Homo-oligomer: A and B are copies of this chain.
Amino acid sequence: MATPCCSFKLHSSLGRARQGELCLPHGVVPTPAFMPVGTRGTVRGVSPAELSEIGTSMVLSNTYHLWVRPGHTLIQELGGLHKFMGWEGPILTDSGGFQVFSLKEHTKVTEKGVRFRSPHDGQFRQMTPEVSVAVQEALGVDIAMAFDECLEWPATRDRAASSMQRTTRWLQRCIDARRHPEKTALFGIVQGGVYPDLRSEHAAEVTDLQLDGYAIGGLSVGEDADDRRAMVEVSEKCLPVDKVRYLMGVGHPIDIFEAVCAGIDLFDCVLPTRAGRHGQAYTSVGKLNIRNARFTADGEPLDPACACMACSTFSRAYLRHLVKSDELLGARLLSLHNLAFYQALMARLRTAIRAGDQAELGAIGRMAARSSCSPGQ
């Protein structure tokens, strides 16, 4: 299938780490890149202009949530998701699979798709590969993710194998359902649980289908970090060099650093915004819980190494006051800072890889490790 709307150029490598450029209908994404999560068509508490200012090139939104409310048809009538949410850059949508599989109580999975009762209006709905692709194309996003079966964790090898086979059949249906490949790229997802041979087998199957990019899915669901690392490694080895690689839903700064060093290009995670709403900040001096009493009279910026609006305007003492007082501005500023921290990490990684600077890469790794745990841990 012709895929004129998405191309990936590899600029430099350092070890397995890659620096490149993903060209999409709404702009260019320098990689490695982190996508802030805007589940319902908004990155919680942060404006599109602020996302741009901190160096965001692409955001992620969610097919399931927008399909249920306000509806993809409405968004399409209003000119598409970019216009609706006021974001002019590239958008990738998750397929909705993860969400419908999470609605455990009311869900029935068949070969056709997933039937469930909507928690919003009590109506039965069915999500299928065809529906997922149609919704994503109606939203007009740059990248649609294939609708896959989300394997529960833990799962036996047999269960992982049969689920993976269904995911391949559904991927073929996603491909057949495409109507606008010139506007919306389609990425396939490598599954296979925590079984290395299944991962290799599935990566080969998925890449045979010649998609615009490839994701590694089904991780960060409860497995050991060592298992996750092994699955990333074995999957990555089977992916073509000339296509972008996306590790879904990962993770802490150190997890992202490790995955970049293992050859991954694209990331998304709710952590920076979710942690921000709960008063937690990723910083160059560690992960800080701003509610902690030790920040009561701390006049320093949240992260002395950060140039974001929160760090350049306010003290830790003030941010603590906002969060302790449940003020909207607290959640907003911590979310903004955490996203700025992630974007600065990605920018620094890109520069180091481009420069072939192994020492700098090491320094980034130490900083990422430090930022992912509380001081003293």
Partner-B contacts on A (CB < 8 A): 40-42, 44-49, 69-70, 74, 77-79, 84-86, 277, 296-297, 299, 309, 313-315, 317-318, 320-322, 324-325, 327-329, 331-333
Counting from the closest, the 10 A-B pairs by CB-CB distance are: A45-B328, A86-B313, A70-B321, A42-B329, A40-B325, A42-B327, A78-B299, A44-B328, A84-B318, A86-B314
Q: List 10 A-B contacts (CB under 8 A).
A: A42-B322, A45-B332, A47-B329, A69-B324, A77-B297, A78-B318, A84-B317, A84-B321, A86-B314, A277-B328
Tell me if A47 and B309 are in contact (CB < 8 A): yes
> A78 to B315, alpha carbons, bound, how many Å?
9
Tell me if A46 and B297 are in contact (CB < 8 A): no
Please, which residues of chain B bring their CB within 8 A of the CB of A277? 328
> A86 to B320, alpha carbons, bound, how many Å?
14
Tell me if A69 and B328 are in contact (CB < 8 A): no
Please, which residues of chain B bring their CB within 8 A of the CB of A320? 70
Question: Can you name the residue of chain B whose Cβ is closest to the Cβ of A74?
Answer: B297
Question: Can you name the residue of chain B whose Cβ is closest to the Cβ of A277?
Answer: B328
Extra A-B contacts (14), CB below 8 Å, given A41-B318, A328-B331: A42-B322, A45-B332, A46-B329, A47-B313, A47-B329, A48-B313, A49-B313, A69-B325, A70-B317, A74-B297, A74-B317, A77-B297, A78-B299, A78-B315
B44, B309, B313: which contacts A327 (Cβ < 8 A)? B44
The smallest beta-carbon distance between A234 and chain B, in angstroms, is 39
Question: Can you name the residue of chain B whose Cβ is closest to the Cβ of A84?
Answer: B318
> A329 to B84, alpha carbons, bound, how many Å?
14
> A322 to B69, alpha carbons, bound, how many Å?
10
A77-B297, A297-B78, A318-B84 as given contacts; A329 in contact with B70, CB under 8 Å: no
Please, which residues of chain B bring their CB within 8 A of the CB of A77? 297
The smallest beta-carbon distance between A274 and chain B, in angstroms, is 12
The smallest beta-carbon distance between A2 and chain B, in angstroms, is 33
Please, which residues of chain B bring their CB within 8 A of the CB of A324? 69-70
> A329 to B45, alpha carbons, bound, how many Å?
5
Please, which residues of chain B bring their CB within 8 A of the CB of A309? 47, 49
Please, which residues of chain B bring their CB within 8 A of the CB of A297? 74, 77-78
The smallest beta-carbon distance between A165 and chain B, in angstroms, is 36
> A92 to B319, alpha carbons, bound, how many Å?
22
Question: Can you name the residue of chain B whose Cβ is closest to the Cβ of A41?
Answer: B321
> A70 to B324, alpha carbons, bound, how many Å?
9
Tell me if A318 and B44 are in contact (CB < 8 A): no
The smallest beta-carbon distance between A299 and chain B, in angstroms, is 5
B74, B299, B317, B332: which contacts A296 (Cβ < 8 A)? B74
The smallest beta-carbon distance between A316 and chain B, in angstroms, is 10
The smallest beta-carbon distance between A23 and chain B, in angstroms, is 26
The smallest beta-carbon distance between A34 and chain B, in angstroms, is 20
The smallest beta-carbon distance between A336 and chain B, in angstroms, is 9
Most buried by B among A45, A48, A329: A329
> A297 to B69, alpha carbons, bound, how many Å?
12
> A86 to B85, alpha carbons, bound, how many Å?
29
The smallest beta-carbon distance between A286 and chain B, in angstroms, is 22
Please, which residues of chain B bring their CB within 8 A of the CB of A317? 70, 74, 78, 84
Tell me if B328 and A86 are in contact (CB < 8 A): no
